[in-house]
Structure 1
């Protein structure tokens, strides 16, 4: 009997070779996820093959610390390798489009950090490449990791079950203070040519994605405002011009008739990494604060008024999203776990041949909204209307 005739002698599923591009903040967070995911979740076999960065000595040191078998400085050469099946892009946004498109065309599954790109045109090109690659069984996903916070995943379930009724009003705020000091130095994140935008693309993308994720809604109209509070910062050439925003505000009209307000800032003194979401419906309310990420506030307005009040749901029961894999109930998890959940979901989509979410199409929709906010701000808070998002088609 040949190997093909004897199922017991057939080769098992291929071990996926993974390459990560970028080893700084996000590269470290993603590497931690790759290093730990198989210890807690049943995922396809993979190997951390190579970590890519521009500084040979620094990336080699990072690779050794983060569990990668080797390091490299040429991402093009890594993508061309036959032993690489998955490319995880943690490089700055200005590099996303070139790397992602090249990887997809080479037949590699691609996970890319948010926002999808620095411009709408780049995001559209990436989405087209992803749709074409999908027809060959190549998967792609954008890393909006806060979708993998168990409390927010639970909030989405409660909203879908009708527990808050018709959503009327949403408030989403993402506030940080790492640029509150006017003497904080220049970085690539403060230059439009490398970052695309400031707080808008960096953290408003998260807040807007949560509105879309939690409600399953589309945005129909946008008004926005951008502001730079500190327009020059110390750099290598002395005081250098800041060419992106420090803060952004937006009002989003939703297809259902609801309204969402979004506020983000990098100069909100005292706020370290505060993503808050408030969902107000006619039957209830949901509250969330990333600085207490294991908790969800919930008010059931269908109860008698004298019994109404916010309950604190501690989201760490095995029945809650993702948590059966972790610690005994009552033991909290942290920010880094969201990246582990993200890698888990991406690997399962590759194994099962299912479309991962958020897809590049979903990332493009966020990019369209970010672009509309910028257009509105440039036109002094003019109302910008958005056409309906194009529907995703199977096998596109």
Structure 2
């Protein structure tokens, strides 16, 4: 047996996303035949006690307390950025300039300007064989990938309507503390960037159409919250002091897409009772399909070609070996979960690195999503009825 080359991974961040990405790196070699043996070399975080505990719990063989040390290590060839958006640009650009491959969580950056600089660094690094990818993990849900295939094959015909929502409720309580996701300097925006970016990317990817213009509104329902005393994942406890919420709690917008479709988008963390309700419906000239993340092993499909006496939405169970990614897992009918999307993401990135190809979504694709988010904020802040989305290439 030929031994595989080792790829050392260093990860920045150890909270919610850090846990999810750790699961991916732990399971990649067991699930997929990839050209590299993954070495979970080091995890990085500012608080030594917490990052040490994370390293032990998640399976990293060492830890660092500053990301510069991570990049300087010779045993690390890939930097996985799971930290808040406020330092995505600084860490990614430094890593790329040092010749390290980069996986960066979404949204790519907090501003269009930062995202542009990251794209420049990625394009320069690519000339030397260094790869960069944005972590829009919902592309890696097998049902979503199969929906894209159905659209590409023309099963729905021309897409007319897109309806996309991402509904959560984890900050409904006004006493929930002022965590970093509620502060513009660290998060860039609120529900719009945190979860809205997912449905922007996913609908564009599935349909093959780009958003070319938007009209939006945002709202912040709770203006002040307790300052953070402690956090764990998405949960936290507050102190007696209070601070200002500087991002949106909810964002809604209408859009036109490049292929002629019209769309509505809603992203909110105030949909009481909804925990992780991402749902997309596409209506085409020949049929419709529905993807619901809370039933992520299924699609609903309606085709006008069916006999009208039995016509209706059918349920497709996405567990066959012929469905995207599923051959790596269990026999037909045995469902997978949310965490598998990150393993699929790692698989696609590592495969691209080995093949010397650009993984998707690229940083340029991440910039395009950032420009959509920026246009929505401009529309909401100015009250303008319509804001075109600029081309990432200017």
TM range (shorter): over 0.9
**Aligned mate of 2:107, from 109, 115, 118:** 115
Higher mean alpha-carbon deviation, 218-227 vs 279-288, is at 218-227
Aligned-pair distance for 1:272? 0.1
Q: Does 1:39 align with 2:42?
A: no
Q: Is the 8 A contact 2:371 2:392 kept in 1?
A: no
Query: CA separation in 2, counterparts of 1:95 and 1:176?
Result: 25
Aligned-pair distance for 1:382? 2.5
Aligned-pair distance for 1:12? 6.2
**Aligned mate of 2:286, from 270, 280, 283:** 283
Q: Does 1:129 align with 2:132?
A: no
Map 1:1-396 → 2, pairs under 5 A: 14-43=5-34, 44-235=36-227, 236=239, 238-390=241-393
Paired residues in the alignment total: 382
Query: CA separation in 1, counterparts of 2:162 and 2:210?
Result: 13
Query: CA separation in 1, counterparts of 2:58 and 2:3?
Result: 28
Query: CA separation in 2, counterparts of 1:371 and 1:113?
Result: 18
Q: Is the 8 A contact 1:144 1:209 kept in 2?
A: yes
Q: Is the 8 A contact 1:146 1:152 kept in 2?
A: yes
Aligned-pair distance for 1:305? 2.5
Aligned-pair distance for 1:28? 0.5
The SS at the match of 1:372 is helix
TM-score, normalised to structure 1, is 0.94
TM-score, normalised to structure 2, is 0.95
Cα RMSD (Å): 1.4
Aligned-pair distance for 1:331? 0.6
Higher mean alpha-carbon deviation, 375-384 vs 92-101, is at 375-384
Higher mean alpha-carbon deviation, 288-297 vs 181-190, is at 181-190
Query: CA separation in 2, counterparts of 1:80 and 1:234?
Result: 38
Structure 2, unaligned stretches of length 5 or more?
Answer: 228-238
Aligned-pair distance for 1:237? 5.9
Structure 1, unaligned stretches of length 5 or more?
Answer: 1-7, 392-396
Aligned-pair distance for 1:239? 2.7
Aligned-pair distance for 1:388? 3.6
Q: Could you list the runs of 4 or more consecutive aligned residues of structure 1 that deviate by over 4 angstroms after TM superposition?
A: none
